[in-house]
Structure 1
Amino acid sequence: MSFDIALSGINAINQSLETISQNISNVSTKGYKSATTRFASAMAEAQPAGVKVSGTEYSVGASGSLQNSGNRLHQAIQGDGFFVLRETNGQRVYSRVGDFAVDKDNKLVDGSGRLVQGFAQGQSNVSDVTIDKRPVAALASASVDIKGRLPDPLPTTAGQIGEASVTFRDANGDMVVRGLRFAMQDGPLRLEVSEVDGANVTVLGTLDPATMMLDRAPGAGTLPTLDFSGMASQRGAFTASATEVGGREAGEFVRARIDKDGSVVAEYSNGASETRYQLALGEFANAGGLAPADGTVWRETGESGVAQLRRPGEGATGVLVSNALEGSNVNVTDELVNLMSAQRNYQANTKVISTQNEMMRNLMQSI
């Protein structure tokens, strides 16, 4: 029986050595979670039967240190969430490694080519995150904000008060410059605003100095909507400046970025940006019950529970850190100590076998 007990100890230690070796070999693997072999005493009914391996426990809840990667698509998670990935066979896996890139099909993938999952704008279900590299069209200016000062009191006779230059974008996104003229008109006395295009002057309407509202004639002029709320009636000389709102030229795709809330943003040469997806993060009732799989990913099990798919910042998922990757949480010093302890235990069990063997040899010689 002593042979069998000692042999069970050697077998258990061999499995522990495999775990320690796996940890040490993955000390530089991004997102790797260290493992520990658990032992339990074995009994044959009421008789001691040595030791057995009761399982392997992974430190899923312990984060590795964040390491700057210099890549704007790389992401690390500050929290308990997991990136949601889809394998080529359609199965979902979960990872702490955000080494993302854009593939030839404009899909966001991880370092092993798995498809990153996210919420499309306005959708509650997750799907493959796709980077839209199509150019964005030009937009005409939606409005022009006018700021400045109207003299108070206004002149009581007809005549020009002042003029401002207005730059805005037309329907093609091209810059257009017009003049905006302020003048008093009689019959009755009123403040009239006109658009000036070279020698052409078009009356737009009457401006009420009390409310700064323009009573614009329908279809008058080429200027977009004018907002005079930034003007004030004050003592002093006339001043006015104009700022266009909402216009842009056509733009080409430049690059993509991911914000800390998981928004996948496309940036364009005209300064515009568009968000079409938000990364999904998986949250588990018992993350320690996840099963490890090849490629530093995890699969859900009955012990882990089904993943709750959330957006970054929801629940305990955490937020994202751009330009960073999570390192391994293996502590090499601890593993070397465990290695020495396993070696001593192995030697002790082999000593038991050696002693038992010597006792049997002496017994056989005495017969």
Structure 2
Amino acid sequence: MSFVTSLSGLKAAQTDLSVVSNNIANANSTGFKKSSAAFGDLFAAAPTQSTRSVAGQGVRLNGITQQFSQGAVESTDRTLDLAVAGDGFFVVKGQPPREAQSYTRNGSFGVNVNREVVDTIGSKVQLLPVDANGIPTSTDPGAMIDFVLPQSDPADPDAVLSNITIADDGVVTATFSNGNQARLGALALASFVAVEGLRPMGDSHWQATGDSGVAAINKAGIGPLGSIRSGSLETANIDLTEELVALIAAQRNFQANAQAIETANNMTQTIVNLQV
């Protein structure tokens, strides 16, 4: 039994090592959220058996959970580099034909050939329609629109786009060469009842699941969604010193379980030799 118990410890230590290694590897990934492994002990006994005479049977993995604490916000001085100072997620929509909706903390956005504002994997950033005062006219997910940069002023085709600004509440304002301004919409942010239930997709993107609940959509500045920081990006919420200590602990745990297996093997070999 000691072989099986120590083997479960080896597997647990290896899983812990993999989780910590992944955290360290993504220390420079924009919007990355670190993970931690949770373990539980294994114990089995018959209902009428005294538990005082039964040893545990090892350890098992209860789950790997992501920690959505705020990462540091670093300035880039690029308008379409956006960071959320709060709990919200940017809402993005994949390219046709699937157009799958996902959520991200990676606000490193750019513009494609169709003048659509897209993220690092080509998904289109979503806006909520707003009135002249920047108030959303609807927060229904079906009302969201693609973030597209206009080429010219709708009221004056000869006036081209000069620049855009994004306020702390996520409202996007376009300024044209004739001095006119137009509100394009407000960046759609999503929040979840149980954020740990989101399914990671990679590239700092997540999908909603039954465990996370349905996304609540609104603009920045509402409740826990937080505010938008234009010209900034959120770094990974990784403390390298903490992760390196965890790495050493996982290595020691692995070595201890390996030593337990070696000791059990020596004891078994000694018993076999006594029987010969």
TM > 0.5 fold call: yes
| Distance in 1, Cα, partners of 2:250 & 2:72 | 27
Structure 1 residue 255, shift from structure 2 partner? 2.6
1:65 is aligned to 2:72: yes
Does residue 114 of structure 1 match 2:123?
A: yes
Higher strand share: 1
Of 321, 324, 329, 2:237 maps to 329
Q: How big is the shift at 1:30?
A: 0.6
Taking structure 1 as reference, are residues 250 and 134 closer, same or farther at Cα in structure 2, changes over 3 Å only? closer
Indicate yes or no: 2:71 matched with 1:53. no
**Pairwise CA distance, 1:121:** 3.3
- How far residue 51 of structure 1 moved from its aligned partner, in angstroms, is 0.1
Q: Does 1:133 align with 2:140?
A: no
**Residue in 1 aligned with 2:49?**
none
Task: Give the structure 2 partner of residue 145 of structure 1.
Answer: none
Q: Give the counterpart letter for 1:319 in structure 2.
A: S
Q: Do structure 1's residue 354 and structure 2's residue 262 form an aligned pair?
A: yes
Matched, 1:298 2:202: no
Match of 1:75 in 2: 82
| C-alpha distance in 1 between matches for 2:149 and 2:73 | 26
2:118 maps to a residue whose letter is V
1:251 Cα offset (Å): 2.2
**One-letter identity of the residue aligned with 2:243:** E
Q: Could you tell me which residue of structure 2 aligns to residue 4 of structure 1?
A: 4
Asked whether the 8 Å contact 1:137–1:250 carries over to 2, the reply is no
- SS of residue matched to 2:122: coil
How much has 1:45 moved relative to structure 2? 4.1
Equivalent pairs counted in the alignment come to 256
Partner of 1:26: 26
Deviations 1:239-297 (A, max 9, x none): xxxxxxxxxx9522123232211112222112222112111000111212212112111
Aligned to 2:134: none
The 5-angstrom pairing of residues 237-316 of structure 1 reads 251-316=159-224
- After superposition, give the CA deviation of every residue in 1:94-145 in whole Å (9 maximum; x if it has no partner): 111111122111111112211111112355221212221124545xxxxxxx
Identity of aligned residues (%): 34
Cα distance in 2 for partners of 1:136, 1:14 equals 60
**Partner Cα distance (2:67, 2:126) in 1:** 25
| Bigger helix fraction | 2
Higher gyration radius (CA): 1
Instruction: Provide TM-score, normalisation by structure 2.
Output: 0.88
CA distance in 1, matches of 2:8, 2:99: 41
2:110 to 101, 104, 122: 101
Letter in 1 for 2:91: V
Distance in 2 between the 1:137 and 1:355 partners?
83
Aligned pair in 2 of structure 1 residues 131, 45: CA closer, same or farther (>3 Å)? farther
Contact 2:152 2:176 in 1 (8 A): no
State the shift of 1:317 in Å: 0.6
8 Å CA contact 1:19, 1:36 repeated in 2: yes
Residue 23 of structure 2: SS of its match in structure 1? helix
The alignment partner of 1:51 has SS state of strand
Compute the displacement of 1:54 (Å). 0.4
Looking at structure 2, the residues matched to 116 and 130 of structure 1 have their Cα atoms a distance apart, in angstroms, of 9
Matches within 5 A, 1:164-179: none
Aligned to 2:42: 42
Contact kept, 8 Å, 2:152 with 2:159, in 1: the verdict is no
Secondary structure of the 1:56 match is strand
Contact 2:28 2:235 in 1 (8 A): yes
Q: TM-score, normalised on structure 1? A: 0.67
Any conservation in 2 of the 1:73–1:256 contact (CA below 8 Å)? no
Q: Distance in 2 between matches of 1:120 and 1:314?
A: 16
Supply the distance in 1 between the matched residues of 2:41 and 2:85 (Cα, whole angstroms): 39
Residue 91 (str. 1) matches residue 100 (str. 2): yes
Aligned partners of 2:118, 2:263: CA distance in 1, in Å?
A: 58
